[in-house]
Structure 1
Amino acid sequence: MIDHLVYGTPELAGTVARLSALGVALSPGGRHVGLGTRNHLADLGGGAYLEVIGPDLEQPVPEGPRPFGIDTLTSERLLTWAVRVDGIDAAIAAARAAGHDPGPAHEMHRDRPDGVRLAWRLTAPPAPELDGLVPFLIDWADTPHPAASAAPGARLVDLRATHPDPAAVASWLDALGVRADLTVAAGPRTFTAVLETPTGPVELH
């Protein structure tokens, strides 16, 4: 199941304003303390959501690079995506048995604006040579899912990509059991999410 799309930006407030003007309503998500980022969220229907993530200038500069290559972004970009699993250790083992290693699971948490703490386990985005087209795994366990409190109104209707080696991407998707969630064709690297909003379709690239 698609859990969320990661849309990165070097300037969070401006991107949130632009997307809101296009019809993609967003609500504050929270800060990733120590990582130097924060996010805004939009419910995409079906239990999925859009995460718009960028630098949190109210935090101290982190010791290491911000996640998802945020520090190197010069413009907004659909960076990668996540798939939700129940039992992340078993999902990792299954992918390894199928020939692809998504890496170990790490624990993270953040607090919502209302003070509710969300906790999850996730892998790092795998296969960096495929530039974000292979999803990472995330397991929310017993914590509230972010889609439930994200701003409603948008709906994900298509997720597609092109890549010079579509077979390599497809092999990873097969190993993770999510090939049907992303259409991949041959071509230069592209990544596109099509959202239906109250004011019409919006494409994120």
Structure 2
Amino acid sequence: MILDHFAWSSPSLDKAIADVEEWSGIRAAPGGSHPGMGTRNALLSLRDGLYLAIDAPDPGQQLVANNGARMAAQPGYNMDLFAVATDDIHAAQSILERFGLAAELRTGSRKTLHGEILKWRHLAVEPSRFGNALPHISQWETANHPSLEAPIGCTLERFQVAHPLAESVRELYAALDLTIDVVRAERPSLRVSLRGRHGVFDLPSYSA
């Protein structure tokens, strides 16, 4: 199981792309839309197999009771989640269930600007004591990984998970074979720093 991507959201995709370009010197490329979810994104490669997804409302979809509606109402940027990829999603499902987390296997897709449909399976889990420290676990069903077509020039400098139940989070990550820095904090947050052409910068998040 490996880090796959970070989902960082904004009320405005255009503003987020412009800000990241100012901070990094790299302009994220439009990735496509998520049908039915009310969102679209832009991508930056952080290395082969790892990327940043900048998510925002899609003006071409209805923004009612979906992710797009939520992002449109946000007060600013937010690091929503981190995703990991596995080649055995059923084994990952069993691990989550050992921690008392009922995980439903679902399918997901995204249409790229070139018309290609990217498909994956993922585990959907109800809100839990782990909050956003629980990784989004998926298994790709298509060969082309988004990081291979996204603009290069940025790398992951630091990823840290903060959580009041730090020891429980560490136990979960050990069971999932994930090596991630975990620190104790009053509330859960995902702290991501990138390195671009202008040096290191933090991705702001109002929930951090």
TM-score (norm 1): 0.88
Q: Structure 1 residue aligned with 2:181, among 160, 180, 183?
A: 183
Does structure 2 retain, via aligned residues, the 8 Å contact 1:25–1:154?
Answer: no
Instruction: After TM superposition, give the deviation of residue 37 of structure 1 in Å.
Output: 0.4
Question: In 2 relative to 1, CA 75–50 (structure 1 residues): closer, same or farther, beyond 3 Å?
Answer: same
Instruction: After TM superposition, give the deviation of residue 71 of structure 1 in Å.
Output: 5.0
Pairs within 5 Å for 1:97-108: 98-101=98-101, 103-108=103-108
2:168 is matched with: 168
Query: What is the rounded CA distance, in whole Å, between the counterparts of 1:59 and 1:117 in structure 2?
Result: 17
What letter matches 2:62 in structure 1?
P
Does structure 1 retain, via aligned residues, the 8 Å contact 2:34–2:109?
Answer: yes
1:122 is matched with: 122
Pairs within 5 Å for 1:23-172: 23=24, 24-62=26-64, 64-66=65-67, 69-70=70-71, 72-96=73-97, 98-101=98-101, 103-124=103-124, 127-172=127-172
Instruction: After TM superposition, give the deviation of residue 46 of structure 1 in Å.
Output: 4.1
Query: What is the rounded CA distance, in whole Å, between the counterparts of 2:31 and 2:16 in structure 1?
Result: 14
Does structure 2 retain, via aligned residues, the 8 Å contact 1:102–1:123?
Answer: no
TM-score (norm 2): 0.87
Identity %: 25
Q: Secondary structure at the match of 1:80?
A: strand
Does structure 1 retain, via aligned residues, the 8 Å contact 2:106–2:121?
Answer: yes
Instruction: After TM superposition, give the deviation of residue 174 of structure 1 in Å.
Output: 2.5
Gaps in structure 1 of 5+ consecutive residues: none
The 10-residue stretch of structure 1 (165-174 or 142-151) with the greater mean CA deviation from structure 2: 165-174
What letter matches 1:199 in structure 2?
H
Does structure 1 retain, via aligned residues, the 8 Å contact 2:38–2:61?
Answer: yes
Gaps in structure 2 of 5+ consecutive residues: none
Does structure 2 retain, via aligned residues, the 8 Å contact 1:157–1:194?
Answer: yes
Does structure 1 retain, via aligned residues, the 8 Å contact 2:5–2:84?
Answer: yes
Question: In 2 relative to 1, CA 49–100 (structure 1 residues): closer, same or farther, beyond 3 Å?
Answer: farther
What letter matches 2:174 in structure 1?
D
